[in-house]
Structure 1
């Protein structure tokens, strides 16, 4: 049985990434060869310059970034919140906290070594976008890792050091080589690219095309 490999670049603070993940999963539920699919998660940082340890409400970050009042930010984020709700995701972006996501991606790499990369990324997305968790806090990350099966002592040891930082950097460099400037981005069999949170139908078409190979 041949494997259909999907490489996914995503950030754990990205509202569109969670929506894209759900739409891909919907497509996989309709895909005839879903049992042949292997997913690999890659880190990408929306804002690598965000100071490590600096916490700020997302609404404040967005208001400063676009130079708009909170009311306009709330209106903008309501649109993505409604789209998320259609995928069964209960966003609470008014509670979300802007952080540097390097440590969250390092934790995902640790989890991937134990076959839990997808579960870890899912848990981090939910923590940030739905639950208002601070996803660069060491104790929070250790707890979230434990919830998906990453030993807490191992997670703490990794997060207190710099292990897997090189792997995250390699993810981002590879994204640049492919010309990826935003996330989510889905690469099927290293050949077919799907950019953004496309519809489940678009993902299904791409899956079938990648599975059948070059025509």
Structure 2
């Protein structure tokens, strides 16, 4: 019987090799655990602003590691307001913070601002303490509507845009023009964005109910909840990037 030469043998075996590779990838996909990370946040909270950036960095580190081969994390946002009755518009956020948060102690406010700047610097993000502020509910309503209709990727971009416009540019957190601009920047069509922002009743009741419900379980932001097969992990308050990564690694070990 004539033996096959090496090229002919490769030609015969190659389809079987490809089949095995496909089965391997299919097996990996079937066994990959899909976890959801929920960031409970307020768009005017500087701690949440910093926490979102640290969480982004942690996700990037984890996704670039070998651990990501058996688990994926999708980020979603839950709205929370520490002060739901906050006035719609407060013309001067610095003056408001001085009186309401620092008991008119200018030195205390200065130290707070310097501390926040020192935390923002390693993340390469600006943080402003001037400009108007107000009630963040209009932004939360938009976030939840976009999350429902456009999914996590667009919503993530929307949240980043809202944070940037408020903390870097000093814009009003609930102003129509600002909300429309943030939506368009995130990838929502301009007409859809204008309609969404203009219809104040769309999603209003549900968003208020969700905020009220969330408030029964937490009392501060940011709060990060990482869903796992055996248990969920909750991280309350601003954490280091390494702490978020460690929590993801724990969920990975317990869920795969």
- Specify every segment of 5 or more residues in structure 2 that has no aligned partner in the other structure, as ranges: 1-31
Q: Matches of 1:44 and 1:143 in 2, distance apart?
A: 22
Give the C-alpha shift of residue 38 in structure 1. 0.5
**Contact map agreement 1:42 1:168 (CA 8 A) in 2:** no
Matched, 1:199 2:240: yes
Segment of structure 1 superposing worse, 116-125 or 146-155? 146-155
Q: Which residue of 2 aligns with 1:208?
A: 249
Q: Which has the larger radius of gyration?
A: 2
Instruction: Select 1:17's aligned residue among 48, 51, 60.
Output: 48
Q: Which residue of 1 aligns with 2:104?
A: 68
- Specify every segment of 5 or more residues in structure 1 that has no aligned partner in the other structure, as ranges: none
How many residue pairs were aligned? 212
Q: Matches of 2:251 and 2:34 in 1, distance apart?
A: 11
- How does the TM-score come out when normalised to structure 1? 0.90
Q: Which has the higher contact order (CA 8 A, sep 6+)?
A: 1
Give the C-alpha shift of residue 203 in structure 1. 0.6
**Contact map agreement 2:40 2:78 (CA 8 A) in 1:** yes
Give the C-alpha shift of residue 88 in structure 1. 1.1
Q: Matches of 1:43 and 1:131 in 2, distance apart?
A: 22
Q: Matches of 2:155 and 2:209 in 1, distance apart?
A: 16
Q: Matches of 1:55 and 1:40 in 2, distance apart?
A: 29
Q: Which residue of 2 aligns with 1:59?
A: 94
DSSP-derived class of the 1:3 partner: strand
**Do the aligned partners of residues 137 and 74 (structure 1) sit closer, same or farther apart at CA in structure 2, a change above 3 Å counting?**
same
**Do the aligned partners of residues 123 and 136 (structure 1) sit closer, same or farther apart at CA in structure 2, a change above 3 Å counting?**
same
Matched, 1:145 2:183: yes
Instruction: Select 1:172's aligned residue among 211, 218, 230.
Output: 211
DSSP-derived class of the 2:192 partner: helix
Structure (1/2) with the larger helix percentage? 2
RMSD (CA atoms): 2.0
DSSP-derived class of the 2:44 partner: coil
Matched, 1:154 2:192: yes
DSSP-derived class of the 2:78 partner: strand
Q: Matches of 1:165 and 1:104 in 2, distance apart?
A: 11
